[in-house]
């Protein structure tokens, strides 16, 4: 089950990249973060480390991106590692209308 947040939440999305043979953390050359809004089904965030400041390297193999989810529904997102290490994962979070006036 996906985590559920009120609309307007600034969510920290995280990812870890590991070597499948050793289990150690590894760094891809680039890390892309993409997110799709349930409002239109279109990609509304598409950022790549190291070119875009929206994707941050926290330590070897650990990255994050922040994004404000501003519409109720399921928000699919993915991280893609490319270059020195190749991997991809897709997840989603859910947003519900906030009970409080904004």
pLDDT at 102 over 90: no
The pLDDT tens digits for 33-45 are 999 999 999 999 9
- 8 A C-beta contact, residue 100 and residue 42: no
Homologous superfamily (CATH) of 4-86 is Macroglobulin (MG2) domain (2.60.40.1930)
Q: Name the pTM for this structure.
A: 0.91
The ranges assigned to domains in the chain are 4-86
The length of the chain, given as a count of residues:
102
- pLDDT level of residue 98 (50, 70, 90 thresholds): confident
Burial environment of residue 33 by CB neighbours within 10 A (0 to 12, 13 to 18, 19 or more): buried
What would the two tokens of residue 69 be? 């989810």
Which pLDDT score is estimated for 101?
A: 72
């Amino acid at each position: 089950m996906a985590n559920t947040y009120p609309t307007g939440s600034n969510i920290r999305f995280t990812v870890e990249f590991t070597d499948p043979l050793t289990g150690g953390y590894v760094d891809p050359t680039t890390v892309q973060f993409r997110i799709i809004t349930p409002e239109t089904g279109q990609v509304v965030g598409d950022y790549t480390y190291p070119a875009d400041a929206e994707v941050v390297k926290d330590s070897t193999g650990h990255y994050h991106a922040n994004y404000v989810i501003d519409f109720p529904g399921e928000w699919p997102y993915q991280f893609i590692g490319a270059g020195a290490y190749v991997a991809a994962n897709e997840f989603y979070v859910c947003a519900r209308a906030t009970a409080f006036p904004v």
